[in-house]
Structure 1
Amino acid sequence: MNNNLLRKLAVFSIIGGILQIVATLGFGYQYLLGHDTMGVAVIVGLINVLGMILILIGMIAVFLYSYQIKPSLNLFISFIVLFIGSMLEVGGMWTVTFVSPMLKVHAAELASTWPTPSGEGLMFSLILLFIGWVYFGISLAKVKVLPVIPAVLVALSLFLDFAPLGIVSNFGSIFWAIAIIWLSTAVYKRTKIEVVIGSDAIKPNS
């Protein structure tokens, strides 16, 4: 696999992780500090969606880098589940970003309940997202190609994120984003070093 390509892809998830932290703080500003206006909801929602898209692109590099060094069936399956779950969730996030603020103004009851089948669809995507990321984090930790701590954090932070703990749950999203940045930075640094070493090795023969 082209290390230059992997390094560029890793940059996407580094940026995406930063945007996820910004979005989490934005959600805190929106809901906890009482600024749940349509404008704030759309801006924070867009940052959240963009961050997730960039992370999903960057995870291709994390997966391919790990898989080419130490192939693992669990790693492969978990990435597929993660990718599908994340794509479904991004679609849901995009819908919520633009539909939910409008419903709060014109149909508050619908905004709070998300009736059938939209509620079930969003729940399914969340469950698949949760399973995929937890499975992927555990699989990454088992192959031990990249740092184990952020791989474990990717899995464990989601339990905190999905727990009904109010403001404490927000830290799950922040820990998860930090873990994504950590893993992506590791891929970026290692592929950069390998490219430099490879270039130096070629020069004497050129």
Structure 2
Amino acid sequence: MARLLPLCLLLPGQTSSACPRPCSCQGTRVDCSSTSLTSSNLPTSFPSGTTELLLHNNPLTTLPNRILDDLTALRSVSLHRNPWVCDCSVLYLRVWLLRHLNSHLGVNCSSPPHLKGRLITYLTEEEVLDSCHYWYCNLALFSQVCLIVFLMVQAALLVALVVFLKKFEKLSKEEESFTAEEAQKENEYSSL
């Protein structure tokens, strides 16, 4: 049992007790501000007792989904002065900010151009979704076409298999009847 405890601490989405690099920690305050953190090198977890998290003044464009959800003691988050990209990837941050209204000050979109300067919490879901990349739709359409083609090939193979089995069954019956006739003729010749 004691061996499993360290493994549980390494599971994704779990909080840790160690101060993440390159942040500095003082008590329950985690200061990651002005550390050049990006969305790709952001720590994957923060200490579980964190009450104040400073992430301002970094080149953060988005936050990974669920990164703040396990921080139940969190009372204050500083996210301003980051170049937030308000596309599909900002939906998690928008929902989290709406649930924690005291953390939304200065959390503005830096792109796309038509949303630049807008507070993320004031964006409608439609505005964010309109900024999504349309290649997702093309990918979905391509996947559906591939699925339909795959199903049609499977149906054709199934029909071919049924036709083959019917012909095989017919040939089998003909062979049995031919063999039975031959056996009967042989019996007639041997009885003479």
Question: Fold conserved (TM > 0.5)?
Answer: no
TM-score tier, shorter chain, comes to under 0.3
Structure 1 or 2: larger strand share?
2
Higher relative contact order (CA 8 A, sep 6+): 1
Which has more helix, going by share of residues? 1
Structure ID, larger Rg = 2
